[in-house]
Structure 1
């Protein structure tokens, strides 16, 4: 196993993409730090399989592998390094596995915002259900919607205009629609609220058209606000 395939390799890859997390992770209980980053690292793997720009076949093969892997976690038979951290938690892994094929379908250009949301709704709801178990929190009715909005915003971040519904009025208009549905503090457990706050700030910077250069004080305030619950 190479360094990039080790547990620390996956965790570090996520931290490199989200360096601002190091300022807000103080609002997460210390015993949940590693589990939180492992979970978000797994979601990043799924984001990468969703937001591909080239040949989809390798990503589709990975989605199939991950479906089998997640189903095995119910019996605590993980093969992936991230499973060593996540699998011990009794979460609805099979529900997440069942939703993975939706990621391949969601790559197609959709007609309107409603279709963009409906295509990924099952996956987002599965993510929210797992997060409730991972972080010992009640599953809130709006938690799936918060995950969904962040998913769609990440697609624009990764793919630009290619991720915009054809009837959405262009990239800028679609980003404004997403921001309007994205409160500063979303439903869900504390790690999700923190992650969403950082992702929302990136979307705001993209809308403004400037570089994303968050000040540490602003990040700390944003993290404190998101963590309040």
Structure 2
């Protein structure tokens, strides 16, 4: 391994480590993922986290807008065989519709705005979640050639699961900007962020996602919403139980 290759791998490992820091449960849940897919699964998870952090992080949206503009160029380059970001080491070589994901980034940025209610929270994320579902199905869909268009039903199920996981990921960020306005109208019923966590968990999409990694992530994300702090990790016994059930679906 030459110096440049080693440096790229170190940079990739740092992004993976940042994702693992938020999701320590994955060290247990990933045993249900085929060994040959695990590196790609981690890179994809880290990419979605980077995009979400750019869209929602900080009090000033402008740095995030600039990051997403850079990512739009980067993902477009992946479709043409070019790569700059280390996450592309495992992802760029796969023909998964990166240009479609790039085109959906403005919708992810727009989801930073506070939604009116539960339905609008999902609707704001729908364009990006749909593009992400199509990529995810090409990466991990069983029996699907990456050149094929995923089945509409599979896209819908994965889209809803991805949108739900993205809404749960907002709890990692400071403040309550992701809590719908309708929650604040329920004055006296409790802390708005906790009410939103409970509502999101109660109305979680029931159709299982079409890929194994998403089913695992969905199970973990929904379970965290049942904790007093939705950003806190689950107990190991809970991780294994929920991951086992998700893997069987």
TM-score normalised per structure 2: 0.83
For these two proteins, the number of residue pairs brought into alignment is 227
Q: Indicate yes or no: 2:157 matched with 1:142.
A: yes
- In the TM superposition, 1:148-163 aligns within 5 A as 148-163=163-178
Secondary structure at the counterpart of residue 167 of structure 1 = helix
Q: 1:4 to 1:204 in 2, by over 3 A?
A: farther
Deviations 1:87-144 (A, max 9, x none): 1111011111111011221112222222222111100111111110111336413110
Runs of 4+ in 1 over 6 A off after TM superposition: 1-5
Q: Aligned Cα RMSD in Å?
A: 2.3
- Structure 1: 5+ residue runs without aligned partners? none
Q: Indicate yes or no: 2:144 matched with 1:131.
A: no
- In the TM superposition, 1:59-70 aligns within 5 A as 59-70=64-75
- Structure 2: 5+ residue runs without aligned partners? 145-149, 187-191
Secondary structure at the counterpart of residue 116 of structure 2 = coil
Query: Is the 8 Å Cα contact of residues 128 and 144 (structure 1) preserved in structure 2?
Result: yes
1:42 to 47, 55, 72: 47
Q: 1:58 to 1:211 in 2, by over 3 A?
A: closer
1:171 aligns with 193
Post-superposition shift, 1:210?
8.9
Q: 1:102 to 1:213 in 2, by over 3 A?
A: closer
Post-superposition shift, 1:202?
1.2
Q: Distance in 2 between matches of 1:23 and 1:5?
A: 23
TM-score normalised per structure 1: 0.90
